[in-house]
Amino acid sequence: MITTLGIMTATIIEDPALRNKAGVFKDRDDAGNYLAEAFENFRGKNAIILAIPSGGVPVALAMASHLDLPLDLLIIRKIPIPGNTEAGFGAISLEGDMILNDPMVKALGLSKEDIEDQAEIVRDELKARNHLFREDRPWPDLKGKIAILVDDGLASGYTMMAASRMVRRREPASIVIAVPTAPMSTIEMLSDYVDMIVCPNIRTTSYFAVADAYQNWYDLSREEVVKMLQDYKRSEETGKSG
């Protein structure tokens, strides 16, 4: 890993050997272990790992286990395009932070009513996810801490932008984005909102898909995420009692 210097505000760290390559990670666990090595100097610091479900959870769990750092979840979702749940025109957080991709909204001809209709569906989903994944726990105190925001990759970046806005209000010492893969254009967009971005597999190709960075990638179900979190909680409790 090396630091890439440039005009961007945030410090950008990548692995130049992985630039523009596909299939560089076996799966999300492998990607999380790779990132953990890059974050070795964060061990023992006043830091917390914040995962974005669903795909960010296994990546973050691998990092938290390796680095012995606390972990929590950021409940944020993309706002899907009507009739196309795979694509989004923005993102919204549980606390109501809404980031819109204005050029896409304009291109799709979405009205304020269209946007609100889709946002309302997402708000209900966010509440359900907070209950299921976090059991409605209070948010952790982030003041003065290093907040490490983790996902399995970035595409448009609007979900991560909403996450950084939500976290910034809690006055952390710094915000670090940790993702296995992302397009350079998205990293450039986010660099003004955070202090550091660690992304081993940066791509500058015209076509980008998060899944291309993985040999084994699929959409995680709610049940799988819950089981991962439960297993992690049990292992943590066993380790403390031992």
Does residue 156 have a cis peptide bond before it, meaning omega lies within 30 degrees of 0?
no
Helix (H, G, I), strand (E, B) or coil at 10: coil
* d(C-alpha 237, C-alpha 1), whole Å: 33
**Cβ atoms 161, 154 nearer than 8 A:** no
Q: pTM for the complete prediction? A: 0.92
Mean pLDDT of the chain: 91
* d(C-alpha 112, C-alpha 185), whole Å: 27
* d(C-alpha 57, C-alpha 32), whole Å: 9
Domain boundaries, given as residue ranges, for the chain = 2-75+143-241
**Cβ atoms 165, 59 nearer than 8 A:** no
Helix (H, G, I), strand (E, B) or coil at 203: strand
Neighbours of 127 (CB within 10 A): 13
Neighbours of 205 (CB within 10 A): 11
- For strands 71-73 and 98-100, give the pairing: unpaired
**Cβ atoms 19, 213 nearer than 8 A:** no
pLDDT of res. 61? 97
pLDDT of res. 43? 92
pLDDT of res. 87? 74
Burial (CB count within 10 angstroms: exposed 0-12, middle 13-18, buried 19+), residue 7: exposed
Return the CATH architecture of domain 2-75+143-241: 3-Layer(aba) Sandwich (3.40)
pLDDT of res. 5? 37
pLDDT of res. 236? 81
Per-residue pLDDT of 179-212, as tens digits, reads 999 999 999 999 999 999 999 999 999 899 999 9
* d(C-alpha 224, C-alpha 122), whole Å: 20
Closest C-alpha among 58, 55, 45, 68 to residue 176: 45
Burial (CB count within 10 angstroms: exposed 0-12, middle 13-18, buried 19+), residue 131: exposed
* d(C-alpha 52, C-alpha 130), whole Å: 11
User: Which of the residues in the chain have pLDDT under 50?
Assistant: 1-7
